[in-house]
Structure 1
Amino acid sequence: MLCIAFFMAFNLVQNPVSTKNTGEMKLQLSNVNVNNKGVIYIAIYNKKQDFMTRNFFKSTKVEVGEDSSIELVFDAIPYRFYAVTAYHDINANQQMDFNENGMPIEDYAMSGTPNQMGPPNWEQVKFEFKDETQVINLNF
C-alpha cells in the first residue's frame, strides 16, 4: 500500500495536472473592401475602462491585399472578457476618419453587436474568451 501511495505521489510530481487558462484567439475579418487598399488596424481590449482608448491589451495591423477575408491568430490569450475593434485606414493617416456629423467615413468592424446609431460601448461588444481555440468574426 505504501508503494502505491509513493508511486501515485511521484507520478503527480512528474506529471502535474494541467490547468490551461489561455487559448488561441482567431479573428476572422470578412467583407474587407479590397478596392480601397490601405491598412486595417486591430485592437483587443481586456478592460472596460480602456475600451476605445489607446490602452489596448494587444494590437496589430495588416495590409489590405486582394482577399476580402483575413484571418489573424493570437496565441496564449488568457481567459476573460474582451472586446475587439478594427478600422480600415484608407488614407494612411493612422486614425479613423469621421464626417462633420461624427459618422465614420472609413469601414470598421467590432466584436459583439454594437449600436449602429451611436458610438459602441463595452457591454455591446464584449465577449467571453474561454475556449482553447475561439473564432471571433468581424464583419466590415
Structure 2
Amino acid sequence: MKILASILVVVIISITNIITAQNKTIIATVLNISSDKGIVKFALYNKTNFRLKPLQSEIGNIENGKTTITFKEVAGGEYAIVCYHDKNSNDKMDFQPNGMPLEAYGASNNVMNFGPPKFDDAKFTVVDKNVSLEIKF
C-alpha cells in the first residue's frame, strides 16, 4: 500500500510540473516609441524558426509612446522576441533602398548590432515562472 501511495504522489507531482511548465506567459513592453502612430508587431521565436515563421505573434497598440503585449501558453525553453514599429500599418517593415530600416525595431535583451538581430543575442529562458521583458527601439 505504501508503494502504491508513493507512486501516486510521484505521478501527481509529475503531471503538475508538466501542466505548470506549459502555461507560462511572456509579457513584453516597449517604452520608447517615437510616436503613437501605427502599431508595434511582436514575434516570438525559438532557435529553429528564428526570423522565419513565429511561434506566436501579437500586435501592440501604442499609447503615450508605450505598448505591452502578452504571449500566452508558452512551454519551457529558450526563446527570442523581435518587434518593430509599423508606423504606416502596412504589415511589413519598411527599408531604404540601401537596406537600412525606416522603422524602429528591437529584440529581447536589447543587443543591437549592425544588421538583423541574432538569436544568441536575444535569447531568454522560460522555466518555471512567467517572464517580463522591456525592449528598447
TM-score > 0.5, shorter chain as reference? yes
Q: Which has the larger radius of gyration?
A: 1
Alignment correspondent of 1:102: 99
Q: C-alpha distance in 1, partners of 2:83/2:7?
A: 49
> Is it true that 1:58 corresponds to 2:86 in the alignment?
no
CA 1:6–1:51 in structure 2 vs 1: closer, same or farther (change >3 Å)? closer
In the superposition, the TM-score normalised over structure 2's length comes to: 0.81
Structure 1 residue runs without a partner (length 5+): none
Q: Is residue 31–residue 66 contact of structure 2 (8 Å, CA) maintained in 1?
A: yes
- The count of aligned residue pairs is 132
- 1:6 deviation in Å? 7.9
- Which aligned pairs between 1:74-113 and structure 2 lie closer than 5 A? 74-113=71-110
- CA distances 1:48-107 after superposition (whole Å, capped 9, x unpaired): 242112x1100011222x322222222221010111011111112211011122111101
Structure 2 vs 1, CA of residues 73 and 115 (structure 1 numbering), >3 Å: closer, same or farther?
Answer: closer
Gaps of 5+ in 2: none
Partner secondary structure for residue 109 of structure 2: coil
Question: What is the aligned partner in structure 2 of residue 45 from structure 1?
Answer: 45
State the identity as a percent. 27
TM-score in terms of structure 1 length? 0.80
| Residue of structure 1 equivalent to 2:111 | 114
In 1: Cα distance, 2:39 partner to 2:112 partner = 24
- Give 1:77's aligned amino acid: V
